[in-house]
Structure 1
């Protein structure tokens, strides 16, 4: 099974904190199409064992690509546990004076995201933690960024997409055409709800919507806490994305700077 299809299969039929354009790419991968922006490849490098780079006493933890619940990292995807392990190691490392979350991500899985966000938030006050965006921090990636002491976004970078999406994949028509019939034998009326072999029923949709609403409220409340904003203001963004200065104006970021300038600003602050 190809890497794009395997990741798409993993992320389908479950709640995601992921920007819509990447959801469309997941759907394309499930149809057997692999657009260039979704070209997965590579492997975990041995030099990533430390899980962060160290420059002038600043630990740099990459938060790149699709985010998922796991303890691995590649150029196109990063696991929440991988980030947590690096963060906690940097917090306890006497060589580390500050931590940078180097973020460029459209978001990813809801599962595991908010536990990591709470860990980062709990580490505030031990060492400076900055989220420096090399481009975007959307959805789950923004949740992570919001837990930092400071968020710096480049002019062409984006913040926001504070929302949750669930993609139900319905294979039933394709299976009918192929002459394949699936029969579910279950214990419990709701056991097979949301399966990809049947259309989504109205009742199942309502139950899944209630779950999505609960997760969305958690997202809103978490960002409101992290950024010292009202939940009403955060909810009012309605999962919109904000480019550069617009994110600063609404309170989702603190300053607009190129990544290298942001890193130098952190070094100047450290003295």
Structure 2
């Protein structure tokens, strides 16, 4: 099967992503997917015009020097970290690339901004349906643990769902536009059963294993009751971690977060539930942060 590495990141692994987005991703596997290099942070911030706050550039154009790229733009003393598209554990790029953002790049940019003496505050500019569970909650803890060092705001443009909301919730404040949204606080696991298709093609797959559960979840065989129960237990554990993490980050009772049942909410309802702090346009949110900084 082509793109085995990508398939391993989509199938039979926990995802914190909106289900409809997961379906789109799996329907759109293409030759464009690949990796780029993770550049070293050298402490040099790139000064750009305020327009860069709204623009995401994942090309190698002249606007920034890739050799000196810290993974964030500095606008009026505020580091802006773009978080867009599907979130993956290890992308190997500091910026959003090919419709994805890596937790590795976000971490490097965030830690660099914390150390940067020119940076007075950090904005996570988020528009993402979520992505992989792997790597998400460790990064969330890193962001949450930095509260108090510098102001950290999550500004949604437009939405932050599932894993992306986990990241957003780690900031001091979460701001969403009126047409944006937040939520999907849950975990999904997808199993693809190819057994009937293989049989129809005259292909028989035989597994020789050591350990009764070694072949659990493989797409070449139907998902057994025992395997489903085991995977459900794992998903329940990760879902509970998600709920407890958001409850901690937002100062909400875990039961209130759990009662959302992984639903998504438009900005006004998200504010009512305590998932976001205010509803305003991204530019207005950025100006509000500048006013607070003085």
* Same fold per superposition (TM over 0.5): yes
Q: Distance in 1 between matches of 2:166 and 2:230?
A: 25
Residue matched to 1:58:
78
1:136-151 matched pairs, under 5 angstroms: 136-151=159-174
* 2:191 counterpart SS class: coil
Residue matched to 1:80:
103
Tell me the TM-score normalised to structure 2 length.
0.84
Report Cα offsets for 1:12-54 as digits up to 9, x if no partner. Answer: 2100000111122244347xxx8xxxx9799764545310011
Q: In the superposition, relative to structure 1, how do residues 224 and 191 fare at CA in structure 2: closer, same or farther (>3 Å)?
A: same
1:43-192 matched pairs, under 5 angstroms: 45-46=59-60, 47=65, 49-70=69-90, 71-72=92-93, 73-192=96-215
Report Cα offsets for 1:168-224 as digits up to 9, x if no partner. Answer: 111112211222221111111111100011110011000000000000000000000
Structure 1 position 243 matched with structure 2 position 243: no
Is this contact kept in 1: 2:155–2:176, CA < 8 A?
Answer: yes
Q: In the superposition, relative to structure 1, how do residues 260 and 2 fare at CA in structure 2: closer, same or farther (>3 Å)?
A: farther
Is this contact kept in 2: 1:17–1:139, CA < 8 A?
Answer: yes
Residue matched to 1:262:
285
Is this contact kept in 2: 1:50–1:86, CA < 8 A?
Answer: yes
Is this contact kept in 2: 1:69–1:109, CA < 8 A?
Answer: yes
Report Cα offsets for 1:229-260 as digits up to 9, x if no partner. Answer: 00000000000111011100000000001111
Structure 1 position 211 matched with structure 2 position 234: yes
Tell me the TM-score normalised to structure 1 length.
0.91
Is this contact kept in 2: 1:40–1:76, CA < 8 A?
Answer: no
Gaps of 5+ in 1: none
Is this contact kept in 2: 1:248–1:254, CA < 8 A?
Answer: yes
* 2:126 counterpart SS class: strand
* 1:61 counterpart SS class: strand
Q: In the superposition, relative to structure 1, how do residues 147 and 266 fare at CA in structure 2: closer, same or farther (>3 Å)?
A: same
Q: Distance in 2 between matches of 1:235 and 1:13?
A: 24
Residue matched to 1:17:
16
Q: Distance in 2 between matches of 1:59 and 1:8?
A: 34
Query: C-alpha root-mean-square deviation of aligned residues, in Å?
Result: 2.1
Q: Distance in 1 between matches of 2:83 and 2:7?
A: 19
Q: Distance in 1 between matches of 2:5 and 2:208?
A: 26
Runs ≥4 residues deviating over 6 A: 39-43
